[in-house]
A and B are shown apart, each in its own frame.
Chain A
Amino acid sequence: MEIELNIHRNTLVIRLSGELDHHVAKQVRLMIERTLPGRNIKNLIFDFSDLTFMDSSGIGMIIGRYKLMKSIGGNVALVCKNLQLKRLVEMSGLTKLITMYTDVNHAISEVTTA
């Protein structure tokens, strides 16, 4: 598992590769919590383009961050290509809350605000 964080203006992009389960979700959550303070970040983009596996812990991690960002007037988006991941995301009803993109640059340009 690799976690890569990039900041574009007020958007934090979290790029994960490998497998996202409960064990990894705990680490990702911690990294986000450490990165947010003092940086005026309003939006999160989870870039799962290179993720090969995810279970409901990943869904829970996204929903938890969604509630957090909404509470400060921000937004969360998801980039996802893998069909199995899409199936899980759709099944969870997550697509009712957040927008799913297939291209990370498209997501950044839609989500990031001045």
Chain B
Amino acid sequence: MKPENKMTLSFLSKSSNEAFARAAVAAFVAQLDPTLEEINDIKTAVSEAVTNAIVHGYGSSDGIVTIIGLLFDDHSIKVSISDTGKGIKDIEKARQPLYSDSEDIDRAGMGFTVMEAFMDTVNIISDVGEGTTVELIKTLQKHYN
């Protein structure tokens, strides 16, 4: 399917950019007239993936996070969040609820679980040493007037 609209956003992997990144995606998706709940679901999922890129992908080093947003005629959206950081060794393990390889006691290991609950499909493409791309896909409700 050919996208009806597309946007690309790149920014430095600073935690202060997390709010900006999810707000930018929400503003782009607003063209499809989503419900407040849908907007919140998308913002939350994007926030999870962007935080992972910053915290796990790059850690203490600086890198670029790239977001590509696509809107389709059938009211579906696809948001890809990419980093060129350390990559994920075991993707199935990473997806599991409560799994976190971080020694930070403040990481719950809920990020992928939240993304999966709030989006229709979550694809993870990752290679160790190459980086990670997370694709978030969701079909929005259609409003008939």
Give residues in A with beta carbon < 8 Å to B.
19, 21-23, 25-26, 29, 53, 55-57, 59-61, 63-64, 67, 84, 88, 91-92
Contact = CB atoms under 8 A, between A and B. Distances in A.
Given A21-B51, A55-B51, A29 B117 contact: no
B110 A92 contact: yes
Given A23-B15, A84-B37, A91-B117, A56 B106 contact: no
Nearest to A27: B15
B127 interface: no
B108 A60 contact: yes
Interface in B44-71: 44, 47-48, 51, 54-55
Given A22-B18, A23-B18, A60-B107, A91 B51 contact: no
Task: Place the interface of chain B in its size category.
Answer: 20 to 34
B37 to A, nearest CB: 7
B105 interface: yes
A4 to B, nearest CB: 19
20 contacts: A21-B15, A21-B18, A21-B22, A21-B47, A21-B51, A22-B18, A29-B106, A53-B43, A55-B47, A55-B51, A56-B48, A57-B106, A60-B104, A60-B106, A61-B106, A63-B105, A64-B105, A67-B105, A91-B114, A92-B110
Interface of B: 15-16, 18-19, 22, 37, 40, 43-44, 47-48, 51, 54-55, 104-108, 110-111, 113-114, 117
A88 B51 contact: no
Contacts of B43: 53
Query: What does DSSP make chain B's interface, helix, strand, loop or mixed?
Result: helix
Nearest to B112: A56
Query: What does DSSP make chain A's interface, helix, strand, loop or mixed?
Result: helix
Given A22-B55, A55-B44, A63-B108, 14 more contacts: A19-B19, A21-B19, A21-B51, A23-B15, A53-B40, A55-B111, A56-B108, A56-B111, A60-B105, A63-B105, A64-B106, A88-B44, A91-B113, A92-B108
Given A53-B40, A55-B48, A88-B44, A60 B16 contact: no
Most buried by A among B43, B104, B107: B107
Contact of B108 (A21, A26, A53, A59): A59
B16 A84 contact: no
